[in-house]
Structure 1
Amino acid sequence: MKKIILLFSALMLTVGIQAQIQTPQPSPFQKIEQKVGLTDVTLEYSRPSMRGRTIMGNLVPYDKMWRTGANANTKITFGEDVEVGGKTLKAGSYAIYTKPGSSNWEVFFYNDTSNWGTPEKWDDSKVAAQVSVQAYPIPMDIETFTMSFDDLKNDSAMLGMMWEKTYVGVPIKFGTDKTVSENIQKVMNGPGANEYYAAAVYYLEAGKDINQAKTWIDKAIDMNKEPAYWQLRQKSLIYAKAGDKKGAIEAAKKSKELAKAAGNNDYVALNEKSLKEWGAM
C-alpha cells in the first residue's frame, strides 16, 4: 500500500511540473488583414499599454529608434508593390521601425524581419523606404498602442499609429488604378494569344469540344508572329485528335525543327514519335 501511495504521489508531482499556467500577455499580439483596392495587406504587432506610465518622450524616448510596439518585429506584408515616401516597396514583408519626435516621426520599412525588437546592428542598406510624418496631438489618452488602416481609398490608405495622446499616419499608395486600367484594356481588346492557347490546351486535355480547341489554337498561333515549338506541339496534337492528320504532321514537323534549333531534345523526340504514328516518318 505504501508503494502505491508513493507511486501516486510521484505521478501527481510529474503532472504538476509538466502543467503550464497560462496567464494573459502584457502586450497581446494582434493581426490585421486588410484589402486596399486589389491588394492584400497584413499587419502583425504586439500592443503594450500605458499602465500609468508616461509614454512619449519617456518610456518611448524621442529621437531614438523604437521597435514600434513590443516583443518581435512589427511586420507588414504587401501582396503587391506599393509606394511609400516616393519609393517602391516590392511585394513582401517588412519590419516597421520608428524614431518618434515631439512633432514628427521618422518611419522606416526594413526588409529584415527576423529581429526581436530593433536590430543589434542597424544596416542602412536594409531600409527599403523611409518617410517623415507629422505627429498630431489627440484630446484623450489611448491606453493601448494601436495600429490601424485609416482613410481607405481605392488606391491609398493611411497606416495609423496611436498611443497616449499622439497619432501619426503613414500614407501608402497602391497601384490599383494601373492594374484596373490594364485589366479593362485587356478585356476590351478581347482574349490574347495566351488565353486562346490555354483554352485550347485545356479543351484537349479535358476531352471537350476538339473542334473548338482547334479554332482557339489557330487563333493563338496566328496572333504569335513566331510561335514556339511547344505551342506548335499542342497544335499538332489538337489537329490529330480533330482528324486533320495533314495539319497535325505539318505542325509537328515545324515544332520539331524549332525544338532542334533550341536544343530541346525532349520535344524533338516527342514530335518524331508522333510523326511515326501518323505515318510521316
Structure 2
Amino acid sequence: MKKIIFFTLFLIFTNSYAQVNHPKASPFSRIEQEVGLSKITITYSRPAVRGRQIFGDSLNGQPALVPYGRIWRVGANESTKFNVDSDIEVMGNLLPKGIYALYAFPQEDAWEVVFHKNIDHWGDGRKAYDSKEDAFRITIVPEVLANFQENFLIMIDDIDYNSANMVWLWEHTKITIPITVDTETLMQEEIAKQLRENPTAQTYYEVARYLQEQGKEYSRALEYLNKAIELGGDTYYFYRVKSLIEAALEDYNGAIGSAQKSMALAAVEDKDEFVRMNQKNIYLWRKLMD
C-alpha cells in the first residue's frame, strides 16, 4: 500500500514539474495580416544569433548553424506554419487555401524555398522531410544587408489590395517572397453575397466606394451610391464619394453640387478635413469647366 501511495505521489510531482513554464531560447511568435480580403497567419519560433555564424560554410573551423545546401525549418523547434484562408499565388504558383510548413535550402547565391504539405514534422527536417510532399518550390536570390538582425524575424510587408511580400530577416540576410491575392474575384463574390442578403445603405455605399477606388464601373457605382442615399439619408461621406464618381463620369456640374452638399454636412459635424477636400475638388473641377 505504501508503495502505491508513494508511486501516486511521484506521478503527481513529476506531472506538476513537467508543467512548469519557462522562457524559451527561441520564443514562439504569431503574425496575422490581411492582404486584400485574404488573411495570412504565420506561426514560428525566433532563434537568436548569439554570436554564431548562421548561414554558409565553416568559419575559423566553426560550422555555421545552417550550412549551405542543408534543409532549414525557417525558425526553430517545430516547423514554421503558413496558413492562408483563400487561394493565393506565390511567384506564379497556385497555393490553395490551407496550412503549409515552410522549409528552405540556403545557398550563397540562391535559396530554394519550399511550401510543404506535411505540417506535423518537428525538428530540423533532415530525417522526416520528403520532397514528394512539397506543394512547390521557388528560387529566391538573398539580399545581404548592412543592418544586423539578432532574432529571426518574419513579416508581411509592402501590402496593397492585391499583393504583399513575405520577408525573412536574420543576421545580415534578407529573403523576400512575393505573394499575389485574387482580391477582385473575392470582392465580386462578396458584393454579390451582400447585395443578395438584405443590403443596407452602408452595403450600397461600401460597394460604390470600392468601385470608385478601383476606377471602374462608375455608372454602376453611382447607381449604388444613390441607393445608399435613398436608404440612409444625407451624409457628408456619401456625397463626398458621389462627387468623385460624378467627376470620373465628367459630370462636373453634378460633382460640384455633390461636393458642396458634402462640405455643408461636414461643416455641421466639424469634419474640417472633409471641408478642405471638397473645397479643393470644387476648385479643380471649376477649372476643368473653364
**TM-score computed with the length of structure 1 as normaliser:** 0.59
Q: Deviations over 1:102-127 (max 9, x none)?
A: 12211100011000131624433321
Shift of 1:141: 1.6
Equivalent-residue separation in structure 1 for 2:79 and 2:111 (angstroms): 18
Identity rate, percent: 36
Change in 2 beyond 3 A, CA 1:121/1:22: closer
Q: Kindly indicate whether the alpha-carbon contact (under 8 Å) linking 1:84 and 1:130 is maintained by their aligned counterparts in 2.
A: no
Q: Which residue of 2 aligns with 1:105?
A: 111
What amino acid sits opposite 1:131 in the alignment?
I
| CA deviation after TM superposition for structure 1 residue 60, in Å | 1.1
Counterpart Cα distance in 1 of 2:163 and 2:14: 52
**Offset from partner CA, 1:189-208 (integer Å, 9 cap, x none):** x64xxx69xxxxxxxxxxxx
Shift of 1:74: 0.3
1:78 aligns with 2:70: no
- Aligned equivalent of 1:149: 156
Higher Cα Rg, which structure: 1
* C-alpha distance in 2 between matches for 1:130 and 1:62: 17
- Paired position in structure 2 for 1:176: 183
Number of paired residues? 183
Q: CA RMSD in A?
A: 2.8
Contact 1:84 1:129 in 2 (8 A): no
Structure 1 CA distance for aligned equivalents of residues 193 and 27 of structure 2? 46
| Gaps in structure 1 of 5+ consecutive residues | 1-11, 197-281
1:28 aligns with 2:27: yes
Indicate yes or no: 2:121 matched with 1:115.
yes
The alpha carbon displacement at 1:179 in A equals 1.7
Match of 1:132 among 131, 139, 151: 139
Q: Specify which structure has the higher proportion of strand.
A: 1
Task: State the TM-score, normalized to the length of structure 2.
Answer: 0.57
Change (3 A) 1:50 1:13: same
1:60-112 CA distance string (max 9 Å, x none)? 11122111110001001000011113221111000000011112211100011
Distance 1:28 1:179, change over 3 A: same
Q: Could you tell me how far apart the structure 2 residues matched to 1:96 and 1:18 are?
A: 33
